[in-house]
Amino acid sequence: MPWRPHRDGRAQWPVVLRDASAEPAIVLRPLRLGDERDWQRVRRDNAAYVQPWEPTLPPGSPARTPVSFRQFVRDLDAEAIADRAMPWCIEVGGRIVGQVHLFGIVRAAQQSAAAGYWLDEAVTGRGIATRALALAVDHALGAGGLHRVEVNIRLDNVPSLRVVERLGLRDEGVRERFLHIDGAWRDHRSFAVTTEDLAGSTLMTRLSQP
């Protein structure tokens, strides 16, 4: 698809996205204040599972000040309203099972963002992460007015590498010591997709093709 700017140069928020072809449906929506118990449950249950892929602060960085869930939700909304991010939780069957997050949005001449995601270990292997990322990227490159989205993945994160492989994202090679993850600077492989790569189609359409 050719790139087209959003009419006012910014994305709109809040945005809810739905894949009704999945059973049950996969829904991407902003976190709400009433999600606190569900969010804390899924984060607690998956603490060890996601730890190897979680961003950490390099030595010497100012300590992070813990914030309440209420403030966490407000901060996410503020980032989205300021057009710096598009943060969604992933909901399946009425339960939060993960998160997909477009961040580092740059407008002007670049019109790009990066994407990250994680999923509840209990629902892996069902294509949920793949379809959730496709929904988010299709929105970003469509109504979101972006031209490019990239995904940076640790070389040993096999499940995430399979996600971008299924979506057919372009492999742009290795970035050495790219992000501080799980306590150290880690090499990442970068993948990207632009509006030209999709040539009028979408990632969701790609998934539906044999």
**Side-by-side strand order, sheet with 85-92:** 17-19, 26-29, 85-92, 95-106, 112-119, 148-154, 184-194, 170-181
Under a CB-based contact definition with an 8 Å cutoff, are residues 173 and 150 in contact?
no
Is the confidence at residue 4, as pLDDT, over 60? no
Mean pLDDT of the chain: 95
Question: Mind listing the domains of the chain with CATH numbers?
Answer: 17-208 (3.40.630.30)
Percent of the chain with pLDDT over 70: 95
The one-letter code for the residue type at 120 is: D
pLDDT tens column, 130-148:
999 999 999 999 999 999 9
Give the pLDDT confidence score for residue 36 in this predicted structure: 98
Is the confidence at residue 103, as pLDDT, over 80? yes
Is the confidence at residue 96, as pLDDT, over 60? yes
pLDDT tens column, 147-192:
999 999 999 999 999 999 999 999 999 999 999 999 999 999 999 9
